[in-house]
Amino acid sequence: MTHAASAITTTGLTKLFGKQAAVDGIDLQVPYGAVYGFLGPNGSGKTTTIRMLLGLVHASAGEIEVLGEPIPGGLSRILPRVGSLVEGPAFHPYLSGRANLARLDAADRFADPSTSRTRIDAALERVDLLGAARKRYRAYSLGMRQRLAIAAALLTPRDLLVLDEPTNGLDPQGTREVRSLIASLTGEGATILVSSHLLSEVEQICSHLGILRQGRLVAQGTVDEVRSGSRAVAEVLTASPEEAATVLRGLGLADVTVTTTGVRAAPDGVDPERIVAALVGAGVGVRGFAVQSPSLEDLFVSLTGEGFDVSN
Amino acid sequence: MSATDLSASPSAPARSRTVVASLRLLRSELRIIAGRRRNQAGILVLASVPVLIAVALKFSQPREGRGPDFISSATSNGIFVSLTALSIEIALFLPLAVAALAGDTIAGEANIGTLRYLLTVPVDRTRLLAVKFVSLVLGACFGVLVVAVTGVIVGGALFGLGPTTLLSGSQIGLADALARLALAVLYLSAGLAGLAAIGLFISTLTEQPIGAMIAITVVSTAMWILDGIPQLEWLQPWLLVHYWTAFSDAFRDPIFYEQMRQGLLVALGYVVVFVSLAWARFTQKDITS
Ligand SMILES: Nc1ncnc2c1ncn2[C@@H]1O[C@H](COP(=O)(O)OP(=O)(O)OP(=O)(O)O)[C@@H](O)[C@H]1O
Ligand SMILES: [Mg+2]
């Protein structure tokens, strides 16, 4: 299963924690040059997947290929080309932002010590943190910490960036900056995998989406492919929803649900004209009727479940 | 993954680059250890013991026949303040210092999450473990050195540094005495390297640096206790701490090497076994912090 066109490929990737499958047989395909939005609610397995991609956690089953090399075998060759942000920032609290980056740079055996200073400054500049570079990390605000973590991922030029919830804790201004940063990195030819539990945060910048639910990949592809995989919804506004529901079921519509204002159902190829005619013919007072393709947001909610249930 | 690295058999320039890069990482590591307030306070505590001993001896009446051999000699020569301080601190303070540093190595980095970012830089796990162990041994060596040097300075100031009368009665000059003290410092550092290896292993087992520190202290204290129980004589040659007090053999005439030689062998054994265990554990470990 070698896809030369993919920056990241996984086959049947699985991670068991005890008996629980945190990641359950997923086949990721992240093409080169893509901005891949890796979406899923809390606890769906995004971070665990990312940890496996980076060799922090050993997969229980399945295969991983990153930038053409198998993981974990090729880690030492691949990781220098990968910038990453995993589950939020983590730095030494009593060192300044700059000293923390210098520490990471010192750990990098491919980094040239003589350019360390300029590279660190450039990375800090890029996330607008140069002004606070000498402050202790402990005194950083949440957003500043997040920015420092992004700067750390940009210390050397990267071919792939794996960013786990990069906008977490950022103000709207910072969120916009991260979006334009991602755009400029893509412009430089990098592939980007960005995880989030908020579709709205990534949908403007992503070319591809992968949607995770309870460790399983429930949708993947370009944004349009994912969107076209969704079903249209017919919505009837009426004062007598029960009667309307009976008529719709009689027509063979699926997923008929009664709402506060009427009925909703999936037409699945039944002509809208036939539906309206049948309703009127059955004497149901129709106040309004519409067939809509759901927004990406609705699709995301329908794929991942609604409300505050944390999938375990 | 480390196995793959080794089998890749790097070319000579690549290997020398790895060595240079590891020295850079080691320097960064030592800077972090030295910059930490807790460690600075720890060094002050270590240094305070010889000061307290010297001052206490200066202002108390000489008494015969109590305490370690060299306490009674200390008033005759400053060098013995060092030896007394070392023999007191090797029981608890120095192992505690090693335990504190060892807790930071892996458990501490895992605890604050920096471990995952070090590993994704990437730092090969074997290389990271090696750098951590070397920094730990250097830290232990520095601790012993601080005690010895403070003892010489304070002892010298209060009691002078004239010719030293050895336990066996013969006299040696200052240069000879300092050389023998250096030998004792190196020997104790080697012993503490054995404890550092145990500490490194324990540090790979947990994400709680304080927990690791307590566990390491418990191990070293338990060894001292076992070493003091006469019925366990069969066990004692295998205890790391059993040989530590032999550092004072450097001040016999001639220097008595037998115990120190065995002590070094046992310490080496502990280093080999526990560094291997730490390696086996750490290279297989899931980093989920
Ligand atoms: N070390 C661990 N031991 C046991 N279970 C774990 C461990 N790490 C993660 N899990 C479980 O694996 C599942 C996936 O967790 P993961 O952190 O990957 O989710 P996530 O998608 O990143 O969530 P979030 O959006 O909240 O960051 C969760 O049910 C979690 O409880
Ligand atoms: Mg997560």
**Contact residues of ligand 1, CB 6 A cut-off:** A 17, 22, 40, 42-48, 197, 312; B 288
Q: State the average pLDDT over residues B87-107.
A: 97
Whole-prediction pTM: 0.87
**The predicted structure's pLDDT at residue B7:** 42
Measured between beta carbons, the chain B residues lying within 8 angstroms of A104 are: 117-118, 121
Hey, is B39 helix, strand or coil?
helix
How far CA A54 is from CA of A100, A185, A192, B261, B286, in Å, comes to 21, 20, 14, 45, 11
Q: State the average pLDDT over residues B229-249.
A: 95
Percent of chain A with pLDDT over 70: 95
> Smallest CA–CA separation between A91 and chain B, in Å?
6
**The predicted structure's pLDDT at residue A116:** 95
Measured between beta carbons, the chain B residues lying within 8 angstroms of A16 are: none
Q: What is the identity of the amino acid at B184?
A: A
pLDDT at B15 over 70: yes
In which band, very low, low, confident or very high, does the pLDDT at B3 lie, cut at 50, 70 and 90? Answer: very low
pLDDT digits (tens, 9 = 90+) for A239-267: 888 888 888 888 888 888 888 888 988 87
pLDDT at B74 over 80: no
**The predicted structure's pLDDT at residue A251:** 86
> Ligand 1 centroid to A309 CA: how many Å?
14
In which band, very low, low, confident or very high, does the pLDDT at A312 lie, cut at 50, 70 and 90? Answer: very low
Domain map (residue ranges) of chain B: 21-284
> Which letter does DSSP use for residue B245 in this model?
G
E-only strand ranges, chain B:
164-165, 171-172
Measured between beta carbons, the chain B residues lying within 8 angstroms of A106 are: 24-25, 27-28
The atom of ligand 1 lying closest to the CA of A212 is 21
Radius of gyration of chain A (CA): 24
**The predicted structure's pLDDT at residue A2:** 45
Measured distance CA(B236)–CA(A275) in Å, rounded: 91
**The predicted structure's pLDDT at residue A254:** 80
**Average model confidence (pLDDT) for chain A?**
89
Question: Would the CB atoms of A107 and B121 count as touching at under 8 Å?
Answer: yes
Out of B1, B112, B121, the one facing A108 most closely (by C-beta) is: B121
Measured distance CA(A69)–CA(A52) in Å, rounded: 14
Measured distance CA(A104)–CA(A148) in Å, rounded: 12
Q: Whose CA is nearest to atom 17 of ligand 1?
A: A47
Task: Kindly provide the ipTM of the predicted complex, given to two decimals.
Answer: 0.88
The residue among A299 and A48 whose pLDDT is bigger is A48
**Average model confidence (pLDDT) for chain B?**
91
pLDDT at A125 over 80: yes
Structure tokens at A65: 């290929």
Which of left, alpha, beta for B9 (phi over 0: left; psi -120 to 50: alpha)?
Answer: left
In terms of CA atoms, which chain A residue is nearest residue B285? A57
Q: Are B286 and A58 in contact (CB under 8 A)?
A: yes
Q: Is the dihedral of CA B274, B279, B280, B285 positive or negative?
A: positive
The residue among A92 and B16 whose pLDDT is bigger is A92
**The predicted structure's pLDDT at residue B75:** 67
The atom of ligand 1 lying closest to the CA of A46 is 21
**The predicted structure's pLDDT at residue B126:** 96
**The predicted structure's pLDDT at residue B6:** 42
Q: Which domains does chain A have, with CATH numbers?
A: 6-228 (3.40.50.300), 233-292 (3.30.70)
Question: Would the CB atoms of B5 and A76 count as touching at under 8 Å?
Answer: yes
Question: Would the CB atoms of A107 and B32 count as touching at under 8 Å?
Answer: no
**The predicted structure's pLDDT at residue B10:** 55
Question: Would the CB atoms of A152 and B24 count as touching at under 8 Å?
Answer: no
pLDDT digits (tens, 9 = 90+) for A8-17: 999 999 999 9
> Ligand 2 centroid to A214 CA: how many Å?
13
Out of B113, B120, B284, the one facing A54 most closely (by C-beta) is: B120
Q: State the average pLDDT over residues B169-180.
A: 91
Out of A54, A84, A106, the one facing B24 most closely (by C-beta) is: A106
Structure tokens at B177: 């005495």
